[in-house]
Structure 1
Amino acid sequence: MIDRANVPSVTFLFREQIASFDPGRQMMLISVDEEWPMIRLWVALPDPALLTPYYGFVSCPRRDVSCPRRDLPTAPVLLAGDPARFEQMFHGG
């Protein structure tokens, strides 16, 4: 969870990583509203080592697999990443 004022800097860093490390368009930065002024950010990364620059972020409890659907956020908003993949993952599109 971070203060909303810090979201633009995380989004910028994430977009830079997408440009450098995501030819398969797997990476996503997702936000979920929390009590004002906080927001919870989730990331989907092809390599757990890419999580290192994000202070305070933690990996899904099972590092050997993707997070189970029940652990994914409800009412997410895509901040960066492939909109088609986001729709497929969260809206079954």
Structure 2
Amino acid sequence: MKYGAILKAARVRSGLSQEELAHMLHINQSDVSKYESDRKEPHMSLFRDWTALTQAQDVMVAFICGMDGLTILQNMMSVVTGFIGGWFI
């Protein structure tokens, strides 16, 4: 299953660098890169911790409920680009 882009979008949305997230997850930055590029598959506990630290629990719920990755990314991007200064544009 490909979800590296979803993990990356969650990290970027939270404003964390790969290094910062790796430190928080107690893993190497190179592992974050591998997860985000689908070269390594995270265990469910790491996926859970990743989404909790990036405040993307909504992403995890959508993913577990079967929403496809493209729809999740589109929803994430609409929130990022549509909410400026407390107002949706």
TM-score (norm 1): 0.30
Higher helix share: 2
More strand by share: 1
TM-score by length of 2: 0.31
